[in-house]
Every structure is written in structure tokens, then in C-alpha cells.
Amino acid sequence: MFRFAVVTGRAAHDVSADLKEALAPVKSKNFAASLEPAKVGELLRAIDGFDGYPTTKLALKLAPLVFVRPGELRGAEWSEIDLDGAEWRIPGARMKMGEQHIVPLSRQAVAILRELQPLSRGSRYVFPSLLTRDRPMSNNTINTALRRLGYTGDEQTGHGFRSIASTLLNEQGFSPDVIELQLAHAERNKVRAAYNKAQRIPERRRMMQAWSDYLDGLRIGPD
């Protein structure tokens, strides 16, 4: 900011330069998640046994299937979702990177959304607040439900479903580029990002269905 001020004549010099070595670097935060397939199966079975509010339970069931960010999930609106076309288009205004994000919906995800329709009480939100139809559910709802299931903040968070998908999809041999596209991560290579605009939707659609089928297998368990 101060370099910009100097260049544009708003400041005589960069006063932040003296702090360069004084400030500790920002450390990236890892979100807790159960990354072993057997543990994921246990988590999915625990979600199936959740006895709280039905909308919250269905949010828990949908989260691992679509692995979007928690804010993107809780703010989902019916106008964004095409159930017949099995596609969810999240507008750029709601995305971290500011670009529209397409989520191909598996058969399992569509079934959950159809179950949610009569529960949304006519709200434009897929997951309306318990207090009013005019707001989405609280940003603490998913994590609170996970705590109720016995998972601490060091074991599993709502954001952790993304880590589960990223880890296990890579282990299964899916294209890292396709996985990153579905996670809506920014391309680190800026030159590559400028030229590579392909969305690879057919591959992502196949991956999302395979992922839901895989989770069904983990839910059933080895027996």
C-alpha cells in the first residue's frame, strides 16, 4: 500500500520498510479433517445417525459430496441449482476467487437436494436459518453439529471436507488439475492461468459421481 502511495505521489517514502524484518510471516492454517478412508467411513456413518434438525443433517450429508467452502454451502440459493441438469452454479460474488464456480451434482447430491426442497419453507436459501427464512443458516451450524457428533475442532471441521476430497481423490489417481478446478483453487502459475481457461466439465462430472459412489462404499464399511 505504501509503495503504491509513493508511486502516486501520496507519500514521500515507504514507512513500512522498517518493519520488514520485524513482522513474523503469516502461517497458513490447516483445517482439521479425517483423512484415512476408514475414518471417513466412520464420520459418514456418524452423520447418518445425527438426530438434530433435519436441515442440518442434510447439510452434513451434502457437504462431503460437493466439498465447497462452508460459506458457499450455507449460502446456497435455489436459483443457483438446476436439479434436472444436475448442476449448481455458484455466482462469482459468493466465491473466494470472484469467479463463477460450477459444481456437477451426483445422483446422491440431487437426491439430498430434492429432500431439502420441502424443508426450506419457501425460502430462497437451500439452508435457511431456524429463526427466519430470509437468512441462511449460521456459519457455526456445521461445526456445532460436528461437535455434537463427538468430533473436536482438532479432528474435523466443515472446511475439512475439502481436505478429505483433495487427499483421497489424488490418491485415487484423478487428474490434479481437475481436482483443483473442482476445489475452485487459484492457479499458482499466473502465465498458465491466463491461457488455461478450460473448465473440463465432463471430467469433473465423472469425477463427482465416482466420488459420491466411493463415499457410499466407505459408509457401508469393510463388512
pTM exceeding the 0.95 threshold for the entire prediction: no
**Residue 10 annotated as catalytic:** no
Instruction: Give the whole-angstrom CA distance, residue 128 versus residue 119.
Output: 9
Q: What is the pLDDT of residue 33?
A: 67
pLDDT of residue 28: 45
pLDDT more than 70, % of the chain? 85
Stronger pLDDT, 154 or 166, i.e. the higher one: 166
* 204 catalytic residue (yes or no): no
Three cell numbers written together for 26 = 503469516
Hey, what CATH topology would domain 35-220 get? hpI Integrase; Chain A (1.10.443)
Which residue in the list 61, 69, 101, 204 is annotated as catalytic?
A: 69
| 96 is known as an active-site residue | yes
- Break the chain into its structural domains and give their ranges: 35-220
The phi, psi pair for 50, rounded to 5°, reads -60, 130
Quickly state the pLDDT bin for 97 (edges 50, 70, 90): confident
Q: Which of 89, 121, 185, 206 is catalytic?
A: 185
Angle between helices 201-220 and 54-66 (to 10 degrees): 120
Check residue 82 and give its pLDDT. Answer: 97
- Which residue out of 57, 74, 101, 162 is catalytically annotated? 162
Let me know if 89 is a catalytic residue: no
Measure the CA angle with vertex 54, ends 87 and 41; round to 5°.
70
Q: Is 195 a catalytic residue?
A: yes
Among the options 57, 61, 74, 159, which is catalytic? 159
DSSP H or E stretch at residue 160: helix 160-171
Per-residue pLDDT tens digits for 195-207: 445 578 999 999 9
Which tens digit of pLDDT belongs to each residue from 13-44? 777 776 665 555 555 455 556 689 999 999 99
- C-alpha angle with apex 45: 137 to 52, nearest 5 degrees? 35
Q: Is 148 a catalytic residue?
A: no
Per DSSP, the residues of 111-148 read HHHHHHGGGGTT-SBSSB-SS-TTSBPPTTHHHHHHHH
Selected catalytic residue, list 96, 107, 121, 148:
96
